[in-house]
Chain A
Amino acid sequence: MTPLSAYLLLSALLFAIGLAGALTRRNAIIVLIGIELMLNAANLNLIAFWRYSPNPQALTGVLFAIFSIGVAAAEAAVGLALIISIYRHYKSANVDQVQAMKG
């Protein structure tokens, strides 16, 4: 049986990879994919903690993960619509070329 810490380490690594991508890539779509990767890492944590909890009959972790997936789907839809709108306005999907609201 795989220990719980292995799942937590894997999820931390996935979170770090997603964070690195969201902070370093220029294309807004890849930034959004990085954010999705971080959300998925959090979901893996929820499922792993539910599986190794003393009372898995409560199903709290599973339902939390289901709601999290639903919210992530809504976030992806709105985010990609925003990216398409920004591309139509600036003719570019690179986040460092959108400077109209720069302080």
Chain B
Amino acid sequence: MTWPFIIIALLTIASAVATMTLRNLVHCALAFTVTLAGLAALYLQLDAQFVGFAQILIYNGAVAILVVFAILLTRGSEPPQQAIFSSTWALGVGIAVVVFGVLSAMVLSSHALAPAGPAPAIASVREIGDQLMTKYILPLEVVGLLLTAALIGGVLIAMHETKTK
């Protein structure tokens, strides 16, 4: 294990925990962007440059801003007076701990994992574009259609209901 990985992993985990436990929703959103940046750094460390920069563009650029807008539109910027966790929080934490225990036990007991990394694979943007335009053209079109439908649907759902009343 290398030091950059340890530092990035600790930063990502700490900001993820902060995202889920902080009281002020704006602080949660800020911690969430740190988590996303840490994940992008991990992608870059895994030689997936395109996915790392796409992560920064889409998540840090679009989804985080969308979350901040939603927080401000629902007046979540002032800290809540009542409890931030639901009454059955112990059950939820228990389920999460059991899931992590099962997953980590499976990972640690598996013998099929490759012990050492192969030669560095360079996934250049040209290769990814070639694949997207040839082999994966149908999924690309489907994702484009899904995004269009989702954004039109999002606008329709969030629009003011003054005309229909």
Contacts and interface: CB of A to CB of B under 8 A. Distances in A.
A83 B74 CA distance: 8
Query: What's the interface size class on A, roughly?
Result: 35 or more
A81 B97 CA distance: 31
Q: Describe A's contact surface by its main secondary structure.
A: helix
B123 A15 contact: no
Given A52-B113, A69-B54, 15 more contacts: A3-B115, A5-B108, A7-B46, A12-B100, A19-B96, A24-B88, A33-B67, A56-B123, A67-B143, A69-B51, A74-B149, A78-B150, A84-B157, A85-B157, A93-B74
Contacts, number: 244
Interface of A: 1-10, 12-27, 29-30, 32-34, 36-37, 40, 43-44, 47-48, 50-54, 56-57, 59, 62-63, 65-67, 69-78, 80-85, 87-88, 93, 95-96
B89 to A, nearest CB: 4
Given A59-B123, A83-B70, A50 B85 contact: no
Interface in B123-165: 123, 127-128, 131-132, 136, 139-140, 143, 146-147, 149-151, 153-155, 157-158, 161
Contact of A74 (B13, B88, B115, B147): B147
Interface residues of B, number: 87
A14 B157 CA distance: 31
A81 B156 CA distance: 9
A73 B57 CA distance: 11
A71 B28 CA distance: 23
